[in-house]
Every structure is written in C-alpha cells, then in structure tokens.
Amino acid sequence: MISPEGCAAILWKSAEKAPEAAETLGITAHRLKALGLVDRIISEPVGGAHRDPAHMAQLLKRALSDALRQFQGVDPKALLEQRHQRIMHYGKFKELGQA
C-alpha cells in the first residue's frame, strides 16, 4: 500500500494533500480504530508531536502504562491465543450465497 504522502505526490504533485489522500485511502486513525486494527488513538500536542516532544513522551508513557496494566495477571498463552485470533480476523469477508 502506498503512503498518504506518496499518493498525494502522485495524484496532486504535492505531499501537502496527504491528509486528503489518507482520508480517501481510509487509513485515518479513527477509521483504523473503527475497523479494530488499532486499540487506542493517542492525540498529539497542539501543533504536532515534533513541536513538544516532552509532552508527547508523557502522553505515550501514560498510554503504554495503561496498556501494560490491562495485561497484568493475564496468562501468556491466553494472550498469544487472543492476539492470534485478532490477527486471523484481519481482512475477513463473507461470501454471499449462490444466486
């Protein structure tokens, strides 16, 4: 799959249209969350993570701590099975009955 920046560069000759390309490609954070491909969206500081890396690091630390806490006491084999089942459902489709 092409990146939004690559798609925008091909279609509009400018990477500035990357957000529009991402929306069209369906690879926005909210779309990926709705599809179950990501667990959580971590908002960036105003202006982007590069503008305030210390604040972004704090946001990531909090999100990772929350994620790790939810796995405390979970049997590793059960966790692996859960992850395997999740991955196996990526790209699933239903076939329509014969007409």
Which range of residues forms the domain containing residue 13? 1-41
51 and 25 belong to one structural domain: no
d(C-alpha 7, C-alpha 25), whole Å: 9
Query: Mean pLDDT, the chain, as a whole number?
Result: 89
Q: Is residue 98 part of a domain?
A: no
pLDDT bracket for residue 90 (50, 70, 90): confident
87 and 49 belong to one structural domain: yes
56 and 27 belong to one structural domain: no
What's this model's pTM, rounded to 2 decimal places? 0.68
pLDDT of 3 over the 80 cut:
yes
Q: Is residue 96 part of a domain?
A: no
d(C-alpha 4, C-alpha 22), whole Å: 5
Alpha helices in the chain (DSSP H): 4-12, 18-25, 29-34, 53-70, 76-88
